[in-house]
Amino acid sequence: ELAERCASLFNSRLLDGIHLTITAGPTREAIDPVRYISNHSSGKMGYALASAAADAGARVSLISGPTNLACPERVKRIDVVSASDMHDAAMAEMGQCQVFIACAAVADYRPANCAEQKIKKTDDSMRIELVRNPDIVSAVASHPQRPFTVGFAAETQDLLRYAKDKLERKNLDMIVANDVANTSIGFNANDNAVTVLWPTGNQTIAQMGKRQLAAQLITLIAQRFLSAEN
Amino acid sequence: ELAERCASLFNSRLLDGIHLTITAGPTREAIDPVRYISNHSSGKMGYALASAAADAGARVSLISGPTNLACPERVKRIDVVSASDMHDAAMAEMGQCQVFIACAAVADYRPANCAEQKIKKTDDSMRIELVRNPDIVSAVASHPQRPFTVGFAAETQDLLRYAKDKLERKNLDMIVANDVANTSIGFNANDNAVTVLWPTGNQTIAQMGKRQLAAQLITLIAQRFLSAEN
């Protein structure tokens, strides 16, 4: 706890006056009025980052999919449901922020058609046709007035290879690689352990509580952001 | 509150010594280790029924999909995730209970194959092949040593027609018809209003809090169960 308080004191100057946007949680893609496709993201990591960034002095907008978490103090939460909603909210926030952290587990696909009425079960089998959702972090990173853009890679295999590829392909400034196959960390767990990659380096943060990890991540992101600014 | 306390006192003898099983909440059907199909059921109605049944003196087993609700006092909760899990738990409980209330919003379909690794997005479109899940309430109601079986019908249109059809087709003793198109009641709302149908009659319960409604439903179910016993 002392270490946390020291980190928080140290952080308290780092992001003073910086506007930071974080996406968090899962998205839900409607199949019909009753059913949806979602994922196991709890939102804990994104909320912890929002809280740590506010502790570091930033003005924080938290664009959140459906979670059961309380909004951290001094954070402006914008509630969304689907990936399309989240994309629109991100585009609206983007012009006003200097740092964008895409921590949400956005659904890659959504049902091609959302049925207006609950679909009746009639056949022994059924298929759902899916179409790609907008790629939010790519849209942010490829914008002419792009903020410093940080992505997340949640994978169950070949984590660092996918993460490095995503960093380059999406033109990100940093990427946080998260092994979600390990159930003691990642989705819904209280602990996490990550490797952070940027074009010229990387850093591994060992397993610890998500709040403590968030403080370290925000410090690292702030350092890279500030050195890119100067 | 006085009315609730009276109802609870009246109920306190109705189900003494009766073993009652209730299913509640949504189920989640895995697409891969990260993604799943689910629905908007909060579990509130099933949990309120479990609590009301325990107040009425019943020994209650609550087979629950993933919810964020606390287990009611004096209720044994059995946690499940998928429809298959819930089916297995229901079959295991069935032999020991005299009343079975199927309140869960069980997914009708599950992905034909659950991918072992997170599916990578590669194409602009994708399809998920689905197969039918076991029909839990039908399996219970068609068993030679069937308990008194109560189903729920959650619909967005033609509610009473579907409910009556389901009552007959699945050989249920009672069915509770729930209009989930009305957002002031049903999924996730705190209020509910239902029409209960049985082979020889029906009763409508006007909109009220789910706890109060649960007490009235348990009274009605107990009355019909006890008159069927004698």
Say what the alpha-carbon torsion angle A209, A210, A211, A216 is, to the nearest 10 degrees. 100
pLDDT of residue B21: 98
Q: What is the mean pLDDT of residues A80-105?
A: 96
The residue ranges of chain B whose pLDDT is under 70 are: 1-12, 120-121, 185-188
Query: Which residues on A lie below 8 Å from B34 (Cβ)?
Result: 39-40, 105, 154, 156, 180, 187
Tell whether B223 is within 8 A of chain A (Cβ). Answer: no
Q: Which of A39, A132, A187 is facing B124, going by the closest CB pair?
A: A132
Q: Point out the residue among B35, B105, B131 whose CB comes nearest to the CB of A124.
A: B131
Residue B225: name the closest of B100, B112, B133 by CA: B100
Extract the tokens encoding A175. Answer: 């990427």
Residue A6 has pLDDT above 70, yes or no: no
Q: For residue B150, what are the domain limits?
A: 2-114+128-229
pLDDT at A216 over 90: yes
Of the given ranges (A11-25, A90-104, A178-192), which has the lowest mean pLDDT? A178-192
Structure tokens at A198: 């940027």
More confident residue, A114 or A222: A222
B223 located within any domain: yes
Is residue A9 pLDDT above 60, yes or no? no
pLDDT at B7: 56
Chain B interface, best mutation among A32, A118, A123, A182, by max B CB count within 10 A: A118
pLDDT on residue A94? 92
pLDDT-based confidence at residue A1 (cuts at 50, 70, 90): low
pLDDT, residue B8, reads 54
Q: Is residue B193 part of a domain?
A: yes
Residue A123 lies in a domain: no
Determine the longest span between alpha carbons in chain B, in angstroms: 63
- The model's pLDDT over B157-179, given as tens digits with 9 standing for 90+, comes to 888 899 999 999 999 999 999 88
Q: Which of A24-33, A179-188, B174-183 has the highest mean pLDDT?
A: A24-33
CATH number at residue A203: 3.40.50.10300
- Count of domains in chain A? 1
Taking an 8 Å cut-off on Cβ atoms, the answer to whether B37 and A40 are in contact is: no
**Bridge partners, A130 (sequence order):** A111, B126
- For residue B121, being part of any structural domain is answered with no
Question: Are B186 and B211 in contact, with CB atoms under 8 Å apart?
Answer: no
| pLDDT surpasses 70 at A87 | yes
Say yes or no: B187 contacts chain A, CB-CB below 8 A: yes
Lowest-pLDDT range of A6-20, A75-89, A200-214, B120-134: A6-20
- What the block records as the tokens of B20 is 């009652």
Instruction: Give tens-digit pLDDT for A154-165.
Output: 887 888 899 999
Beta bridge partners of A127: B129
Is the pLDDT at A4 greater than 70? The verdict is no
Query: Quick check: is B119 in a domain?
Result: no
Given a cut of 80, whether residue A40 has pLDDT beyond it is: yes
Burial A140-157 (b: 16+ CB within 10 A, else e): bbeeeeebbbbbbbbbbe
